[in-house]
Structure formats: structure tokens, C-alpha cells
Amino acid sequence: MIKESAVSSLKEVARLANVHPTTASSILNAASGNSRFGEETRLRVEAAARKLGYVRNRAAVGLRERRSNSIGLVAGNLLNPFFALLAQELEKCLQPLGYELVLTSHGADSDADETRLAQILFERAVDALLIWSEVRNGKPTQLTGKPGCPRVYLGYAPRCVPSVTINIEKGIELAVGYLARMGCRRISLYSPSYAKTAGLPKPRPEILSDVCRRYRLPRPSLHYHEGESWDLSAAVQGAMRILACGKDVGGVIGYNDVCATAWALAARELGLATPVVGFDGTMVFRSLPARLPYVDLRAPVMAEAAVTMLMKIFRGERPRPMAIDPEFLSF
């Protein structure tokens, strides 16, 4: 019997599974889904590895194959439910292909922070980078470092680079169209204050103003709260202050699901009925008892498209940038 502290070798696993060490190595160290061996053989080797406590030496495999089978993600703050959902969906897409997701998340809203996180991932020898990017001060994030490391941008991107972007303007149009059909002539945006100057591909207030103009609606009202985009408490307090003033805000579009949820909670607390539309489509928002309508940014579709694009780059192809159109869902 092998002690728990002992490290089993491939030879021991192969002996127990009654296969050649090369066979055990191919099954245990190859990417998931390897089909060179029969199901019965693969299950026997995996069972032997579990029984002996065999642990794959990823560092050794990486040195031998000159790859780490890991993909780095520079994500937005994971306290924002959308980024947590996006990371989860990316992991679901990568694992069946034999890749692990190495996740970094930033709290500061700056290019310098994203560059620092990307450098950390470069030092971990990831095979490629997935980068969440937004326009700041009129320019999208442009990371440097480690030439030749494939990268795919998410959200928004520099021109002519592999990217999967979100058609935010389409989402705003869907929300405005819904509120207009509900009889709202005045449209308001509720968002964190930093959204005045950041967004995809430009700040959300500018996009909303353009859409309202096309719908021949009055200029939208813009309402902000201090705090981060994920800070529900700050968002509720801000909404309470705005609603307590008694001003007609019409229909409200939340900057994200957190802002929409906060507005709905504040309105209910004050006994007010205000049409509210969420923006993201995260599980937290969709599970609310009130079942508010929302614009779904389709994180699963975005993740699948990004991983597909990355695999094309690995094969030497040059995929074109693509945009994901949001969907509107109501109950």
C-alpha cells in the first residue's frame, strides 16, 4: 500500500493498469478528449492514477512540449457579477479542449493595472491571453509585452486585432424601444459616476443620447451614484436620494444589473412604480422575485466565440473581429 505522502510515478500507474508507460503518459498528460485509446483503457488508467494518488507534473509537461495548456484572462472586477459569469463561461469552453483558465482580476480602472496583470500572466507562461478591454479617455486598452503570445480582446478592442466585442448600442436600442412601447417619453440612465468617461465603445450616456435622438425622445436624464459598478449598497443609497427628490425620471435603464436592482429596491422601499430595465443578464438578476426585463449581453455566446477565435489563432489562421448582439428578455 502506498502512503498518502508518496508521489506515484507513471510507471507505477502503468503497472497497476496493465498498460505500457507510454500509454499511461499519453492518456494522463494529453489534452482532454484524447481518442487514441479505447474508453475501457482510458478509464482503467485514470482509476489507477486516482488510486495511487498520481499528480500530473504540469511544469515538466510544459517544458517538454513548450506549452502550459493554460490561458490567461485579464478580467474586470469579479465583484461585478457579469465578469464572474464571463470567467465561468470561458472556463466551461476551455476545459473540454484541455486548457485551464488562469484568472486575474483588477479593481483599478486603468490601463496600467491591466498591463501589470498581463505581465503576471506572461510570467506564468500562459499559451495565450484573453483581455477584457474598454475605452478610456477615448482610447481602448493596448497591451504590450511578450511578442508572439496570441491574444483575443473582449468587450472592446484596438482596431484590426482578434476581438469579440459587444454591440452596446444595440442593447441600448432594445431597452429604449421597450420603454417607449411602455409609454415612457422620458428615459433615464442610472450608473456609477465613472461611467461618464468609460464604456464600450464610448461612454454609455453618449450612446443613450444618440439612441433617444433617433427615437425622437427628449434628451435622457443621467443619474449617478458614487461607488463601484458592483456596489449594491452604494447604488441603493444613490437611488433613494434621487427618488426622494420627487423628480419624474420616466423609464430607467440600469448601467448594469446591479444598478437596475438597486433602483427597483429603492423604488419599492418608497412605494413608487418606475419601469426599470436591467443590463447584463447575470444569474443574480434573473433570480430576483420581481423578474424585471433586461438586456442580455450573452456571456456564454461571447465566451464560446472568444475561445473558438483563440483556437483558430493556434492553427495559424487570422480570424476576423466579431460583435455579439445583445438580446432583450421580458416576463
How far is Cα 134 from Cα 154, in angstroms, rounded to an integer? Answer: 9
Q: Which CATH class is domain 68-167+299-325?
A: alpha beta
Q: Can you give the pTM of this predicted structure?
A: 0.77
Where exactly are the structural domains of the chain?
Answer: 10-56, 68-167+299-325, 168-296
Q: Spell out the per-residue pLDDT of the chain, length 331, in tens.
A: 333 333 467 888 889 989 988 888 888 776 444 556 888 888 898 898 888 877 766 555 554 555 678 999 988 888 888 999 999 999 999 998 889 999 888 765 555 567 778 777 877 788 999 988 876 655 656 665 556 788 899 987 777 889 999 999 999 999 999 999 999 999 999 999 988 877 777 889 999 999 999 999 999 999 999 988 889 999 999 999 999 988 888 999 999 999 999 999 999 999 998 899 999 988 877 777 678 899 999 999 999 999 999 999 999 999 999 999 999 987 6
Q: What's the confidence (pLDDT) of residue 225?
A: 94
**CATH architecture, domain defined by 168-296:** 3-Layer(aba) Sandwich (3.40)
DSSP letters, 300-319, are HHHHHHHHHHHHHHHTT--P
> How would DSSP label each residue in 9-73?
PHHHHHHHHTS-HHHHHHHHHSPTT--SS-HHHHHHHHHHHHHHT----HHHHHHHHT--SEEEE
Question: What confidence tens digit (pLDDT) does each residue in 2-30 have?
Answer: 333 334 678 888 899 899 888 888 887 76
> How high is the pLDDT of residue 30?
60
